[in-house]
Amino acid sequence: MKMTGAEIFLESLKREKVKHIFGYPGGVVLNIFDLLYDDKKLQLILTRHEQGAVHAADGYARVSGKAGVALVTSGPGATNTVTGIATASMDSIPMVVFTGQVPTMLIGNDAFQEADIVGITRPCCKYNFLANNIEDLAEIVRDAFHIATSGRPGPVLVDLPKDVTVAKTEFIWPEKVDIRSYRPKYEGNKFMIKKAADLISKATKPVIVAGGGVILSGASKELTALAKLTDTPVTMTLMGLGCFPGSHKLSLGMPGMHGTYYANMAIQNADLLVAVGMRFDDRVTGTIETFAPNAKIIHIDIDPTSIRKNIPVDVPIVGDVKRVLTVLNKLLKDNDQKQWAPVRKKWLKQVDAWKAEHPMSYAESDDVIKPQFVVEKIHELTKGDAIITTEVGQNQMWAAQFYKFEKPRQWLTSGGLGTMGYGFPAAIGAQFAAPDKLVIDIAGDGSIQMNIQELATAVINKLPVKVAILNNRFLGMVRQWQELFFDERYSHTGLDVTPDFVKVAEAYGAVGLRATKPSEVVPVLKEAFKINKTVFMDFEVDWHEKVYPMVPAGASIDHMLFDESIEKSAKKKKLRAVK
């Protein structure tokens, strides 16, 4: 039976087991949307901005592990997806974005709502297609999902010209995918893994640095086994949080610019780094020249370009983290019956001493709400079990520092691109992927305004997403840099006119709550978590508060700045270690 391109497209999505599409309609995709009107298997979730649709698809992917899907129109619809695609690309998130396109005979003519979206997104997606022939459409959809979800995952864009979705042909679903120029390597080199096992056995001061690749590969179990087997402390990059239980005694929290003192000290003093599914981002390494000066480096990553890009390594292992760790763990178990505890005793004692020296802490107050206190209470009340998304800025760093993630796929943040406006739509996508979970966006008052229109999406879909706005009336992170490095000249970072977020929430039909004093924080959180609706919580926090520790740009990661008010440990602000 002949089918139209639009029918083939939707049928192909069903073959790929897609259930949710985040999207926004327009001229050239009208025929596709018409089919979706009474489709029983595919649910289109109408966002209020195409950027929101792509971030929602991204959040959906991070929670479910499956490719997120977005569908938008040509021209402005397509260009509005770019930030979302670049965000997913930097964080290796599997996603397929479908954009409408003007009919093939008009392409290149500056037709109404024409944009060369394939050209525009070429450098910020894993791959993209212009489906200019209906005969190839099913195969292109199949390839798109295959490319997005295999190897190092990433976003793929498929541009669908109007005439192709209108044309008719026989539907043939390709039973298997084979792209001769794309065959990711999954198995690590045996010899290199053996070398890695030897190095680990000999090391006296090793540290595991785990990144987002561990989560993408589904290798948390293997990573945790490696750490426990060899008694090796683990630090997790921003993207890696949750791949090892944050409350475990071997956890060092996050390294780098706003990382913990003990993670950075451990790296700088280590004799071996086992880097797993991470890419030595500059926010992790600080100055390269002085990074981990005494350490040999084992680097496991599925993407060969990640290896030796920023840092020389001793044992490069290209392969899927899960498979490599499985082999490595087996070697370590078989080869070596040694008792690790006595070997590591001294090193772990040193690590504990660093933990005691500068625990993650902040100066408490009874008068003003400290943003870290809010995050801490969110952690406490949710027992570390919520899905947390963030915006970008101080809110993101405090969430990373003070929420202890126990499991993978409960932490969604724009790590690589640092996209303000990510968290709220991502939370919406996350809630679709995990309807029974508590999903909380920890936000800044600046960032939340970048996709605040998605309140409508949350409300109409009855999503009980919670947004905790750490409202400091500033673009806080930028203000922090201005305070520290630009003589407190707060150029264009004061948000003097900020909307009344409670009223904004109410205007959309959501619930708005506010806390202005520390004593109101817990009651507001408790109430919000009780209500089965979209809730905005406006926490009026201390605007002076800064993210610490901090490694200034261009410094070595053991040159950290600390909060002086804690250092002095003034009477009222008692020092407080966070468990």
Partner 1 sequence: MRHTISLLVENKFGVLSRVAGLFSGRGYNIESISVGETLDSKISQMTIVTSGDDQIIEQITKQLNKLIDVIKVTDMLELDHVEREMILLKIAPQANRKLEAIEIANIFRGKVVDSSEKTLTIEITGTEDKLTAFVNMMKPMGIKELVRTGKVAITRVGTKK
In this chain, which stretch among 269-277, 299-307, 492-500, 514-522 interacts with partner 1, using CB under 8 A? 299-307
In this chain, which stretch among 99-107, 123-131, 215-223, 238-246 interacts with partner 1, using CB under 8 A? 123-131
Phi, psi of 487 (to 5 degrees): 55, 35
Identity of the residue, 208 or 550, whose beta carbon is nearer to ligand TPP in the bound complex: 550
d(C-alpha 327, C-alpha 322), whole Å: 9
Identity of the residue, 188 or 446, whose beta carbon is nearer to ligand TPP in the bound complex: 446
In this chain, which stretch among 121-129, 364-372, 502-510, 562-570 interacts with partner 1, using CB under 8 A? 121-129
Identity of the residue, 264 or 394, whose beta carbon is nearer to ligand TPP in the bound complex: 394
Q: Which does 176 bind (CB under 5 to 8 A by kind): ligand TPP, partner 1, none?
A: none
Q: Which does 305 bind (CB under 5 to 8 A by kind): partner 1, ligand TPP, none?
A: partner 1
According to CB under 6 A, which one of 307, 324, 470, 515 is a site residue for ligand TPP?
A: 470
In this chain, which stretch among 25-33, 116-124, 532-540, 544-552 interacts with partner 1, using CB under 8 A? 116-124
DSSP H helices, 108-255, are: 117-121, 137-149, 162-166, 190-202, 212-216, 220-230
Q: Which 3 state secondary structure label does DSSP give 303?
A: coil
Q: At closest approach, how far in Å is the CB of 472 from ligand TPP?
A: 5
According to CB under 8 A, which one of 40, 178, 181, 436 is a site residue for partner 1?
A: 181
- Window 440-469: contact mask with ligand TPP (x via CB under 6 A): ----xxxx----------------------
**Residue 305 binds partner 1, judged by CB under 8 A:** yes
DSSP for residue 155:
E
Q: At closest approach, how far in Å is the CB of 409 from partner 1?
A: 26
Side-chain half-sphere of 304: how many Cα atoms within 13 Å?
7
Q: Which does 126 bind (CB under 5 to 8 A by kind): partner 1, ligand TPP, none?
A: partner 1
Do residues 538 and 246 touch, judged by C-beta distance below 8 A? no
**Phi and psi based region of residue 4 (left: phi greater than 0; alpha: psi -120 to 50; beta: remaining):** beta
**Residue 342 binds partner 1, judged by CB under 8 A:** no
* 41 class by beta-carbon count within 10 Å (0-12 exposed, 13-18 middle, 19+ buried): exposed
**Residue 509 binds partner 1, judged by CB under 8 A:** no
Phi, psi of 242 (to 5 degrees): 100, -15
d(C-alpha 325, C-alpha 276), whole Å: 9
Name which of residues 387 to 416 contact ligand TPP (CB under 6 A).
391-395
Q: Which does 393 bind (CB under 5 to 8 A by kind): partner 1, ligand TPP, none?
A: ligand TPP
d(C-alpha 168, C-alpha 374), whole Å: 57
Q: At closest approach, how far in Å is the CB of 145 from partner 1?
A: 14
Look-up: residue for tokens 């600046």? Answer: 446
Do residues 121 and 85 touch, judged by C-beta distance below 8 A? yes
**Residue 147 binds partner 1, judged by CB under 8 A:** yes
According to CB under 6 A, which one of 277, 476, 512, 549 is a site residue for ligand TPP?
A: 476
In this chain, which stretch among 298-306, 421-429, 510-518, 535-543 interacts with partner 1, using CB under 8 A? 298-306
Beta bridge partners of residue 441, listed in sequence order: 389, 467
Do residues 137 and 12 touch, judged by C-beta distance below 8 A? yes
In this chain, which stretch among 106-114, 249-257, 295-303, 476-484 interacts with ligand TPP, using CB under 6 A? 476-484
d(C-alpha 115, C-alpha 100), whole Å: 10
Identity of the residue, 76 or 119, whose beta carbon is nearer to partner 1 in the bound complex: 119
Q: At closest approach, how far in Å is the CB of 79 from partner 1?
A: 18
In this chain, which stretch among 102-110, 120-128, 454-462, 480-488 interacts with partner 1, using CB under 8 A? 120-128
**Phi and psi based region of residue 73 (left: phi greater than 0; alpha: psi -120 to 50; beta: remaining):** beta
Q: At closest approach, how far in Å is the CB of 421 from ligand TPP?
A: 6
Q: In three state form, how does the secondary structure of 531-561 look?
A: CCCCEEEEEEECCCCCCCCECCCCCECCCCE
CA distances 140 to 96, 182, 300, 301, 565, Å, are 11, 14, 31, 27, 58
Residue nearest ligand TPP (C-beta atom): 444
Q: At closest approach, how far in Å is the CB of 151 from partner 1?
A: 9
Angle 432-46-507 from CA coordinates, rounded to 5°: 90
Identity of the residue, 77 or 421, whose beta carbon is nearer to ligand TPP in the bound complex: 421
- Window 416-435: contact mask with ligand TPP (x via CB under 6 A): --xxxx--------------
d(C-alpha 470, C-alpha 443), whole Å: 6
Q: In three state form, how does the secondary structure of 284-297 look?
A: HHECHHHCCCCCEE
Pairing type for strands 20-23 and 68-72 reads parallel
Q: What are the catalytic residues?
A: 50, 112-113, 162, 477
Identity of the residue, 40 or 180, whose beta carbon is nearer to partner 1 in the bound complex: 180
**Residue 301 binds ligand TPP, judged by CB under 6 A:** no
381-410 burial, b at 16+ Cβ within 10 Å, e below that, comes to ebebebbbbbbbbbbbbbbbbbbbbbbbbb
**In terms of residues, how long is the chain?**
579
Q: At closest approach, how far in Å is the CB of 142 from partner 1?
A: 14
According to CB under 8 A, which one of 39, 303, 380, 558 is a site residue for partner 1?
A: 303
According to CB under 8 A, which one of 105, 177, 179, 507 is a site residue for partner 1?
A: 179
Where along the sequence are the contacts to ligand TPP (CB under 6 A)? 391-395, 418-421, 444-447, 470, 472, 474-478
Where along the sequence are the contacts to partner 1 (CB under 8 A)? 118-119, 122-123, 126-127, 130, 147, 179-182, 303-305, 308-309
